[in-house]
Amino acid sequence: MRQYLDLLQDILANGAPKADRTGTGTLSVFGRQFRHDLADGFPLLTTKKLHLKSIINELIWFLSGDTNIGWLKRNGVSIWDEWATESGDLGPIYGAQWTAWPTRDGGSVNQIDYVIDCLRNNPDSRRILFHGWNVEFLPDEKISPQDNVRAGRMALPPCHLLYQFYVANGRLSAQLLIRSSDSFLGLPYNTASVAVLTLMLAQQCDLEPGEIIICTGDSHIYSNHLRQVREQLSRSPGPLPRLEILRRPPSIYDYRFEDFSLLGYDPWPAIAAPVAV
């Protein structure tokens, strides 16, 4: 993942100081892209250890349509804890928009079902995508995530907001647009997550995995992550691992963490950093 490390170096060298919602402050650049062919290995960082269980279980949770952290906590994932209400609610965030986008007639649209139908029956379509940017439910930046949830809005607006898919020569590729990219903590998770999703969709639709392309809007490093970024950049990346899926579930909604096997992952130690809330 040399391209990811190059992005961190780019932000350090060229980033503009900017204020942000959390009050932490960032160095920021705008409009970057990198790509990775999944035939070359699974894009899990080797310059610091990542928690694959959190990445896969969060994706499974999104696909279930759940927006309460209860299931995550029972499955060893704490990454959403700071934004939830006392009862664990996060409002109509990712999973709600992915699987039950509300319609004018009071119904809903499952965007994931739409994507799978296109991949199976109309793979040359240029409309194979889903997204989570539902303006009606975006939070008010002036109040807390919890107060937004109590008002019926999202705790946080989507950062990884649009996923587009492309089929050519029997290979499935995915492009992800991230409007706001916490490049040290969040981006490695988003990269691995879209790779897992691409592997799952390829299996379900009898395709081979292709490329993932990551497009970032505001790509930033928080001011309290600068030391950690420099430590990571001092490390040499190792060979990428492989991720195998051990069974083919009946549908995209039936995967479990135990269905995945990570092979050959030998990373540097994890680097702790505070989350900007």
Calculate what percentage of the chain has a pLDDT beyond 70.
Answer: 100
* Residue set of the binding site for dUMP: 21, 126-127, 179-182, 190, 220-222
> Would you place residue 275 in the very low, low, confident or very high pLDDT band (cuts 50, 70, 90)?
confident
pLDDT in the model for residue 22: 86
Structural domains present in the chain: 2-263 (3.30.572.10)
Q: What is the chain written as a DSSP string?
A: -HHHHHHHHHHHHHPEEE--TTSS-EEEEEEEEEEEEGGG-----SSS---HHHHHHHHHHHHHT--BTHHHHHTT--TTGGGS-TT-B--S-HHHHHH-EE-TTS-EE-HHHHHHHHHHH-TT-S--EEE---GGGPPPTTS-HHHHHHTTS-SS--SEEEEEEEEETTEEEEEEEEEEEETTTHHHHHHHHHHHHHHHHHHHTT-EEEEEEEEEEEEEEEGGGHHHHHHHHTSPP----EEEE----SSTT---GGGEEEES--PPPP-------
**Residue whose token pair is 């499955």:** 75
Q: pLDDT tens for residues 18-36?
A: 998 888 999 999 999 999 9
Q: What is the pLDDT of residue 181?
A: 98
- Establish whether 215 is a catalytic residue: no
Task: Detail the residues annotated as belonging to a binding site.
Answer: 21, 51, 126-127, 179-182, 190, 220-222, 276
**Is residue 180 a contact partner of residue 217, using CB atoms and an 8 Å limit?**
yes
Per-chain mean pLDDT for the chain: 97
Give CA–CA dist 40/37, Å, rounded.
6
Q: Does residue 1 register a pLDDT over 90?
A: no
Residue 115 has pLDDT above 90, yes or no: yes
- Region of poorest pLDDT, from 19-28, 57-66, 128-137, 176-185: 19-28
pLDDT at residue 69, rounded to an integer? 98
Distances (CA, A) of 121 to 72, 113, 140, 167: 34, 12, 40, 12
Whether the pLDDT of residue 274 is over 90: the answer is no
